[in-house]
Amino acid sequence: MILETERLLLRPPAAEDAPDYAEIWSDPEVVRFLSGRTWSLADAEAAIGRMQRHWDWFGMGAFTVLRKADDRILGRIGFLLWDDRWRHGDTERIVPHETEIGWALGREFWNHGYATEGALACRDHALGQLGLTRVISLIASENAASIRVAEKIGETFEREVRGGFFRYPVDLYALNGPAR
């Protein structure tokens, strides 16, 4: 599955993306609101394996984001499924309860509208072709830039989430689409 926007191409991750992922996730600012831990090349390879498994299990997942003008990998944007106890489906097969749209781009690509552009494409795909009626984003309350992206794609603050996978409380932003 491939999504395309005016400036971006979103495609499932491939093993050859690992060096670019390792470079992006080696920046402490990029991982600040994620795990807080920077990645080595081996970490990036393992993460891509988990993302590919998510695609195999659920038919959706995180996309590698390429800028069409130069085929540069900017990061990832896409879907992560969560169960009702906040375990996510990239480490184990779960019964999905929530579908998250998430984004993480290299710092040099921040403030160019890429995260919003890719997240909008994912939102439209989720509420259209995938037939979902709800999407969420889980965001650290201090992450003002990601909160702005969530709001630009139509999500609003719903509640705080504690426990499960998260090492600190996160805010759940949600968009309820048309009932089917």
Q: Residue 14: what pLDDT?
A: 97
Residue 179: per-residue pLDDT: 63
Question: Is the Cβ–Cβ distance between 96 and 79 less than 8 Å?
Answer: no
pLDDT, tens digit (0-9, with 9 covering 90-100), for 65-88: 999 999 999 999 999 998 887 777
pTM listed for this prediction: 0.92
Eight-class DSSP state of 88: B
Full set of structural domains in the chain with CATH: 3-176 (3.40.630.30)
The answer to whether 103 touches 64, Cβ cutoff 8 Å, is: no
d(CA 87, CA 104): 19
Q: What is the model's pLDDT at position 180?
A: 59
Alpha carbon distances (Å) from 89 to 3, 21, 25, 80, 83: 21, 20, 21, 7, 8
pLDDT, averaged in runs of 10, over the chain (180 residues): 96 97 94 84 94 93 97 97 78 82 96 98 96 94 94 95 75 84
Q: Are 78 and 11 in contact (CB under 8 A)?
A: no
**Per-residue tokens: 78:** 């896409």
Amino acid letter for position 60: M
| Those residues with Cβ within 8 angstroms of residue 153's Cβ, 6 or more apart along the chain or in another chain | 101, 116, 119, 120, 123, 175
Residue 20 Cα distances to 3, 13, 105, angstroms: 20, 11, 11
